Amino acid sequence: MTVPAPLRSRAIRLYKELLFLGRDYPHPQGFPWFRARLKRAFQGKASLTDPVEIEKALAHADYVKREIEALYSLRKYRTMQRRYGSAWDDTLPAALKELHRDP
Amino acid sequence: MSLRVLVGVKRVIDYNVKIAVRGDKSWVETANVKHSVNPFDEIAIEAAVQAKEAKLVGEVIAVSCGPPKAQESLRTALAMGADRAIHVEIPDGTEKTLEPLAVAKLFKKIAQDEKVDLVILGKQAIDDDANQTGQMLAGLLNWPQGTFASKIDLNAGDKSLVVTREIDGGLETIKTALPAVVTADLRLNTPRFATLPNIMKAKKKPIKKFTPTDLGVDVSPRLEILKVEEPPKRQGGGRVANVDELISKLKNEAKVI
């Protein structure tokens, strides 16, 4: 049984977006490490045929995407806060707190 | 009538890169080094785009003064939601001598030509940390300024602006009329990501190109860079065995007692 086309294209789109995000992933082995892991994660789900299961996997990929974006935002904010921030107030801005919260 | 906002975008060495000084001490190493949009400028772009999404602003124009590659930074600004961009191109390698005053003059000309109501800039760039362009621009235009903004309340109706500023030990709130210049501080907002689909879409948005000569601005440097040096390396600490040794070290080596 083949996977319905809209799901397939959504999976490919998510994969590409995650690859793009991974270019800046903070890991000693850098992008190749990220790409290998990402590929494995997607390949592991390649045999799924049940649309409900696929939706679940896509939702997970979307969640990972948002987590990586949150990680980058926090990293950048914390570095900038350390270099330029005010000493009297180092509480996290509301938008970042929102990002950091578990779904 | 809807408001028009100009935002400044500077291409700088990425905040994550460890800066290395060139062998001849003329400048820092920029070849094969990752560059990105100045983080404070990202905050400025986000502020303008949020105001547009809240329908307070009609158009957001991103401007960058820099070498040909500054176009990449403008693409990022367009992907974040700016409507169009203006690139004031200077030859490769001359960006280190493009001083805040020259940039302020270029922005002044563009702000007048485009008839903008508000200019939002980052408070400073993370490469030269000058923190001058916004203030100089406000001075040249004779517009009010709200620097180090951590909150902006725009009122499109009576064309006024309330800015909360980060000052030493607290916050200051000022109200001013438009047109005005605002510079963004770190806590103004959290910039969104330029996502892959948005970057692709941004390729269709227009970028106008000028040279400083087109705008009638002289950008020749007024300062000369004599040398660029790394800060002295931190000396490692040592342990002392007892109080006597500590006292003798303080007396004879540190010479503080």
Summarize the confidence of residues B210-230 as an average pLDDT: 92
Query: CB under 8 Å to B5, separation ≥6 — which residues?
Result: B48, B51, B52, B57, B59, B60, B61, B116, B117, B118, B119, B120
Summarize the confidence of residues B38-47 as an average pLDDT: 96
Taking 60 as the threshold, does the pLDDT of residue B117 lie above it?
yes
Q: How far apart are CA B177 and CA B118, in angstroms?
A: 10
Q: Which two tokens stand for residue B19?
A: 């800066």
pLDDT in tens, A56-72: 999 999 999 999 999 99
Q: State the nearest Cα–Cα gap between B29 and chain A, in angstroms.
A: 20
**B46 in contact with chain A, both atoms CB, cutoff 8 A:** no
pTM of the complete model: 0.87
Q: How far apart are CA B133 and CA B88, in angstroms?
A: 15
| Nearest residue in chain A measured CA to CA from B129 | A84
| Nearest residue in chain B measured CA to CA from A82 | B186
Which residue in B16, B187, B190 is closest to A73 by CB distance?
B190
Taking 80 as the threshold, does the pLDDT of residue A90 lie above it?
no
Q: How far apart are CA B52 and CA B83, in angstroms?
A: 10
Name residue B243's amino acid.
V
Q: State the nearest Cα–Cα gap between A81 and chain B, in angstroms.
A: 7
Taking 80 as the threshold, does the pLDDT of residue A101 lie above it?
no
Percent of chain A with pLDDT over 90: 43
Taking 90 as the threshold, does the pLDDT of residue B1 lie above it?
no
pLDDT at A87: 59
Taking 50 as the threshold, does the pLDDT of residue A103 lie above it?
no
Summarize the confidence of residues B180-209 as an average pLDDT: 93
Class of domain B3-253 as given by CATH: alpha beta
Residues of B in contact with A26 (CB under 8 A): 16
Q: How far apart are CA B53 and CA B23, in angstroms?
A: 47
Taking 60 as the threshold, does the pLDDT of residue A102 lie above it?
no
| Beta carbons within 10 angstroms of residue A71's beta carbon | 16
Residues of A in contact with B39 (CB under 8 A): 76, 80
pLDDT in tens, B124-171: 999 989 999 999 999 999 999 999 999 999 988 888 999 999 888 789
Q: Which of A22-26, B35-39, B230-234 has the highest mean pLDDT?
A: B35-39
The phi-psi region of residue B255 (left if phi > 0; otherwise alpha if psi is between -120 and 50; otherwise beta) is left
Q: How far apart are CA B177 and CA A71, in angstroms?
A: 38
Summarize the confidence of residues B183-205 as an average pLDDT: 92
- A88-94 long-range contacts, CB within 8 A, separation 24+: A88/B169, A88/B170, A93/B187, A93/B189, A93/B190
Query: CB under 8 Å to B116, separation ≥6 — which residues?
Result: B4, B5, B6, B61, B179
pLDDT at B38: 95
Summarize the confidence of residues B18-42 as an average pLDDT: 92
pLDDT at A30: 84
pLDDT at B57: 93
Task: Quote ipTM for the complex.
Answer: 0.81
Taking 50 as the threshold, does the pLDDT of residue B172 lie above it?
yes
Residues of B in contact with A73 (CB under 8 A): 190-191, 193
Mean pLDDT computed over every residue of chain B:
92
pLDDT in tens, B54-73: 999 999 999 999 999 999 99
Taking 70 as the threshold, does the pLDDT of residue A2 lie above it?
no
Residue of higher predicted confidence among B169 and B223: B223
